[in-house]
Structure 1
Amino acid sequence: MKSLVIPVGILISTISSFGQTSATATVDSRVTVIEPINITKTVDLDFGNVISAYNPGTVVLSPDGSRIANGVQISNTFPGNVSPAEAQVNHGNNKYSITLPDSFSLYSREDPNQTIVIDDFQVSPNTGEIMDILKIGATLNLKANQPAGFYTNTAGFNVTVSYN
């Protein structure tokens, strides 16, 4: 009888070892597709009319549209078009970051060798549930005796928004 018990014991241990070498689980899968983030410029950045001086100076245009002159003068009688830049961001109620350049140059239409640098960009978002309005100000840096004329850069500067 011992000879019959041993083969049955070997057969039982062999079957149980095959059952322990693998297992299967079913995994569900999902995705939520969100709208891509979108930004649209609605207003250009415009410092208005500035009066040159013998010394270098700055004009700070804040996101609320107010201007402060340091070392130069601004014309209250003829302010020109003064406006912070404005852009609409559609973000679908998702968090995002804003990237602006460190600086940007404007060139004289009459003499492209004459430049004015803009830097220290400031952003003030008017937040909504799925859309924000960004107001963007900056600092205009004039050289001493900055030649009069119209300064611009038709290439524009980039305002980049990215989901976090």
Structure 2
Amino acid sequence: MVLRFRYKLNFLSKMVRLLFVLLFSSFTMSANSQNSAATTVNSRATIIEPIKITKSVDLDFGNVISAFNPGKVVLSPNGDRIAQGVQISSTFPGNVTAAEAVVNHGNNKYSITLPQSFTLYSQEDPNQTLFIDEFKVNPETGETLDILKIGATLNLKAKQPAGLYTNSSGFNVTVSYN
């Protein structure tokens, strides 16, 4: 009887161990079965037209009469000019035009970059210079196609020597998508 009891105890002990092993292995199997997962990701790209800018009119301050003191001529983007410290002739105004450039940008917003300043040189004496600064532009943003009108301020020294002042390299007007 003692032998039978031991046999049953031994049998129960083996069964408990077997159940424990089976139970433990099922936990580790389920833990291992969740080590990775996958999904499918779609991708796409939309190509938009590149932004374009084309100059249509150059910036021209027209005829300016030098004075004994320094002065300036402010040319607005709409083509109006105001003299400060110098004179402009209504009889001989010369060719007065704000610069114009056409921007093709689709329906995308963009920014405009203009120079801080620009130098003009006398054709007779390259050591004589004029400085242009305070660039202004209208409009700043627009629809699919914009006409930018650009004005600036022309700064003259006292007794600025007469002559044609120009700079064949021109100044950059840069447009960039935002």
Q: Fold-level match, TM-score > 0.5?
A: yes
Structure 2 counterpart of 1:66, from 74, 77, 80:
80
Alignment of 1:57-136 (within 5 A): 57-125=71-139, 128-136=142-150
Provide TM-score, normalisation by structure 1: 0.94
Are 1:18 and 2:62 an aligned pair?
no
Alpha-carbon distance in structure 2 between the residues aligned to 1:157 and 1:21: 62
Distance apart, 1:104 and its partner CA = 0.5
Percent sequence identity is 71
Distance apart, 1:93 and its partner CA = 1.1
Once the two structures are superposed, residues 128-152 of structure 1 have per-residue CA deviations (whole angstroms, 9 ceiling, x without a partner) of 4211111000000111111100000
Alpha-carbon distance in structure 2 between the residues aligned to 1:136 and 1:17: 69
Alpha-carbon distance in structure 1 between the residues aligned to 2:28 and 2:141: 68
Alpha-carbon distance in structure 2 between the residues aligned to 1:21 and 1:64: 69
Q: Residue 69 of structure 2 aligns with which residue?
A: 55
Alpha-carbon distance in structure 1 between the residues aligned to 2:142 and 2:152: 23
Runs of 4 or more above 4 Å deviation:
none
Distance apart, 1:10 and its partner CA = 3.0
Distance apart, 1:20 and its partner CA = 1.9
Q: List alignment gaps of at least 5 residues for structure 2.
A: 1-14
Q: Residue 11 of structure 2 aligns with which residue?
A: none
Distance apart, 1:126 and its partner CA = 7.5
CA contact (8 A) 1:126 1:132 kept: no
Q: What is the root-mean-square deviation of aligned Cα atoms in Å?
A: 1.4
Say how many residue pairs are matched.
164
Alpha-carbon distance in structure 1 between the residues aligned to 2:61 and 2:35: 74
Provide TM-score, normalisation by structure 2: 0.87
CA contact (8 A) 1:126 1:133 kept: no
Alpha-carbon distance in structure 1 between the residues aligned to 2:154 and 2:123: 17
Larger Rg: 2
CA contact (8 A) 1:49 1:75 kept: yes
Structure with the bigger percentage of helix? 2
